[in-house]
Structures are given as C-alpha cells and as structure tokens.
Amino acid sequence: MIKLKRANRIGTVEEYYFSKKLKELEVLKSNGIEIINLGIGNPDLKPPEDALKVLEHGIMNGENGYQSYTGINELKISMLNWYQSIYGVSLNQSQILPLIGSKEAIFHLSMAFLEKGDEVLIPNPSYPAYLSNCEIAEATPLFYDLDMENGWLPNFEEIEKKDLSKVKLMWCNYPNMPTGAKATRQLFERFIAFAKAHNILIVHDNPYSLILNNEPISIMEVEEAINYAVELNSLSKSHNIAGWRVGMMIANEDILKNVLKIKTNLDSGSYKGLQLAAAEAMKVDKNWYVKQNKVYEVRKEKAIEMNRLLNCSFTEDFNGLFLWAKIPEEYKDARTFSDYILDKTGIFITPGFIFGSNGEKYIRTSLCLPAAVFDRAIQKIKKYL
C-alpha cells in the first residue's frame, strides 16, 4: 500500500469532533442504548412550503446541468431583496456571492488572503472551522477572549494591547455561537471602528440572526461596513435547509474577485432546482420567522428546565439555536461532565472545550429537537440523576 507524507498544513488539523462523536453514538445505538442527541444544530423544522414546491418542480422538469460559479440571477436577486427586507441593507450584485453553504466561505477567504506569517484574530470560544482553516492556510491564530463576565463580547481595549501588525483578518459571530450572546448595533459599530484603526478585515459570520430573534441585524447596516467587513450568511438555520447547502458572502467587489479565484477552481454552481427553491424560500412573509421562533421558545424553556436539573448555570436571554451553560463546580471539565451524562442517561450534550479553552467549563444544548424529545430527556435525567 502506498504511503504518503501528509502536507505540513494539516499537521495540527484533527478530524472534526462531531464526525468522531457521531460514530461513537451510532455504536451505542447499535448496542440497544436509547440515545438522545442534543449536541448538533441540525434544524428539524420544515422549509417553507412554496420552496419545496419549486424544488419538486425543478426535479420533475429536469433542471440539470452545470450552473454559474456566481449563482443564477434569480437567486442573487432574491438574496439582495432579502437583505433589504430583513436587515434594511441595500446591496448590488457585485457585492454578493452565493455559496454552497457559508462554511465554504471560511475556507475560501482563508485561502485567498492568508499565508505563512499572517495572523488571524479568532474568538475563544468560537466555531472550530475558524481555527482549522487558519491552520490549513498556514497562518497563525491570535486568540481574543470572550467570557461570561463581559457578556461574551470582545474586550477591544485588551485586544489593542496585542501586537496587531501581522493581523489580516478578525473573525466574529453575533448572535454568537456557542454562547448565544446577542448582536447589537453598538457592537457592530465598534468592530468597524477597530477595522479602520488597524487595517484588519472583519469577517462576521451571521447564520443565527433570525433564530429566537424577531429583530435581526447585520454588520452591513453600519456606515461604510462594506469597505471594512465581510458578512457570511446562510439559509441552513433560518430556513431549515441545512442539507441544501445555500449561503452567501457579502463583501466589496475586490474581495469577491479574489475569493472567486479560489472558488472557481474548487467547485461549480449548485443544482439549479435548489437555487430556485432557495430563492423562493427567502420570499416568505416575516410572520413565517415569527411562527418558527414560537416553536423555538417552547424548546428553549424545555432546555432551561433540563439544564437546571443538571445544576448548570446560564443566562436565559440569548439568541440562536443553543443554550450555553456552565457545568457544576464539582466536575473537572465539560468533557468529563458530558461523558458522565451520556453514560448515565444516554443524552449527549456538546462539551464546550471543542470551541476553545474558554469553553472548558461549559456545555451547549441544541434546540433542534421536538419538545417531546426534551420531555423524554427530562424524564431520563430525573430517573438516573
């Protein structure tokens, strides 16, 4: 069998935690153990009905063939209209790029702008893909702390004490994942001011703005933000179409041109029927989002009840798909606590260490299961713990 030396760029990159954990859960299931997976943010609610009809029509009518790397016109127009309707942000077609999910954009931006010797500001805790893509690009992570005492917001005064001379990009994400900290106009204004002062591109990852939040905002609402920031957005969470892989990048034309040099050599445009269906999904009335949030509110209350039974502490005022909770003091760390709960009850809750060292004492509960499943989890916790 051939043996190849792996590239240095992936020397520190590990298999994604959930990829490994799901295999473990499948083994437990195969052994007859009832597993309740409260770990992953995989939306279980239905996409908009009209979008499903458009997708069905596309399948039945053979909407096949390779598509444009920059998305079909119908999708781009729908995205522009959606940004205007939801966020009050006016954009043109040169400032928006449809994507095969926003996770793709993290890689494209890293490949297009980072190289050895560059540094990247990454929040701790944060989505693991920010760090892994920084490492794949052979850049150096420069972590900035988010903590409960500061409401999981960046301390810009502390960040500015660092040597920022080699920093090119700064990742941020509000409503925050994993902590649920809310987005505010004041926070976004501070990010843009920081970008101007230090010549650092702000990359704002914004997939959760419509979850448990009927007043979503975008960093692009801030004056001149298009010149200093990139915003990634996705329909996976907001419209329950995670498997369709539809996202977007909002940026100035120069940034998108450089991203396209990577993207066009890596993938092709997604299936036309999906693009048409996604375009239709973004046409839903705002009441559709309100109704969806009513479902999440019920689940949020169940998650709160469950975490109270586990003697965890948390804030009830959060946005997004996850409840972020501090574990009881008697447990060494979140991995130990999560494994204990799984062993005793068959309930898997994500340990916060996968998001960074500041998550070592926290767990993250997903709201992507029906209320009845939460009721079952609560029963199991009461029985075994």
How buried is 154 (Cβ within 10 angstroms: 0-12 exposed, 13-18 middle, 19+ buried)?
Answer: buried
Work out the average pLDDT over 143-165: 96
How confident is residue 204, by pLDDT bands cut at 50, 70 and 90?
Answer: very high
How confident is residue 15, by pLDDT bands cut at 50, 70 and 90?
Answer: low
Q: Which CATH number is 49-281's, of 2.40.30.210, 3.90.1750.10, 1.10.3720.10, 3.40.640.10?
A: 3.40.640.10
How confident is residue 3, by pLDDT bands cut at 50, 70 and 90?
Answer: confident
- 10: which 2 tokens? 């992936």
**189: pLDDT strictly greater than 80:** yes
Work out the average pLDDT over 16-36: 79
Question: Which DSSP state fits 119?
Answer: E
Residue 229 near residue 203, CB atoms below 8 Å? yes
**Beta-sheet strand order (sheet of 201-205):** 96-99, 247-250, 229-234, 201-205, 167-172, 119-124, 140-145
What confidence score (pLDDT) does residue 10 get? 66
The Cα–Cα gap between 23 and 177 comes to 24
Tell which residue, 258, 270, 87, has the closest CA to residue 185. 87
- 21: which 2 tokens? 């954990």
How confident is residue 65, by pLDDT bands cut at 50, 70 and 90?
Answer: confident
- 39: which 2 tokens? 């770990």
| Per-residue pLDDT tens digits for 308-333 | 999 999 999 999 999 999 999 999 99
What confidence score (pLDDT) does residue 103 get? 86
What confidence score (pLDDT) does residue 13 get? 59
Collapsing DSSP to helix, strand or coil, 314 comes out as: coil
Q: What residue segments make up the domains of the chain, in order of their start?
A: 14-43+286-384, 49-281
Percent of the chain with pLDDT over 90: 76
Fold assignment, 14-43+286-384: Aspartate Aminotransferase, domain 1 (3.90.1150)
**88: pLDDT strictly greater than 90:** yes
What Cα–Cα distance (Å) separates residue 182 from each residue in 45, 169, 178, 325?
A: 23, 22, 11, 16
pTM: 0.92
Residue 195 near residue 170, CB atoms below 8 Å? yes
Q: Are strands 96-99 and 247-250 parallel, antiparallel or unpaired?
A: antiparallel
**14: pLDDT strictly greater than 70:** no
The mean pLDDT of the chain is 92
Work out the average pLDDT over 201-230: 96
Percent of the chain with pLDDT over 70: 98
